[in-house]
Amino acid sequence: MSNKWLDWAKELQQLSQNALAYCKDPYDIERFERIRAISVEIMSEYTDLPMEKLYDIFAGDEGYQTPKVDIRAVIMKDEKILMVKETIDGKWSLPGGWADVGHSVYENIIKESYEEAGAHVKPFKVLAILDQNKHRKNDYPYTVYKIFVACKYIKGDHIENIETSESGFFTKDALPDLSVNRNSKKQIEMCFEAYFDDNHEVICD
């Protein structure tokens, strides 16, 4: 897919959503809704995502458009990193996901670590804030900021839940099959290096 088509579709979506947040004139609203629909049609033409899904994630938001926030817990024990097996694709990722409204980053990390891995943790530093589209195939219809947070492991056992089927600790040299849309091998390696570096400075794109 040409990046130009994707960039144009994203820009049309952003402009129309922002305009709809402030528009009062019914004729302008109608025009911007049509522009938004065109942006979805463009994405549907050039991606494998179904139209319904695109409307959900690409045109279902309201208000001024801002990036989505994906948080990931970096939990270490005996120089091994805690990962969870995603039920959606059977592959492995760091515990985490979309940040819930009403919770701070700190609270979200604690919540996600327990819900997905059964792990009780204490977050203690941010390792990186990355723009997801700079680290994977650029076919996402929106901007995602990924926040990697280092956590001290207290205790835990995997608990049954709908998002993950199991959890485990892995060494840097023996990582499982990664869910690369959630975290790449390079990002996991970055987590190992940054976690144990007392002088680490937050990595930002």
Nearest partner of 73 among 95, 91, 93, 92, judged by Cα: 95
At 66, list the tokens: 């801002």
Highest mean pLDDT: which of 39-53, 108-122, 129-143?
108-122
In the chain, the domains with their CATH numbers are 3-58 (no CATH), 68-204 (3.90.79.10)
Structure confidence at residue 28 as a pLDDT band (50, 70, 90): confident
Strands 119-131 and 96-98, by their bridges, are: unpaired
Give the DSSP per-residue string, 41-110: HHHHHHSS--HHHHHHHHS---SS---EEEEEEEEEETTEEEEEEETTTS-EE-SEEEPPTTS-HHHHHH
Percentage of residues of the chain with pLDDT beyond 70:
88
List the single range of 75-79, 93-97, 130-134, 163-167 with lowest mean pLDDT: 130-134
Whether pLDDT at 138 is above 70:
no
Q: Rounded mean pLDDT of the chain? A: 88
**In the beta sheet, which residues pair with residue 144?**
68
Residues 175-205, buried b or exposed e (16+ Cβ, 10 A)? beebbbebbeeebbebbbebbeeeebeeeee
Average pLDDT over residues 22-32: 85
Model confidence at 78: pLDDT above 60: yes
pLDDT, position 3: 66
For the segment 170-183, the average pLDDT, to the nearest whole number, is: 94
pTM metric for this prediction: 0.75
Is the pLDDT assigned to residue 133 strictly greater than 70? Answer: yes
Neighbours of 11 (CB within 10 A): 11
Instruction: Give residue 202's pLDDT.
Output: 96
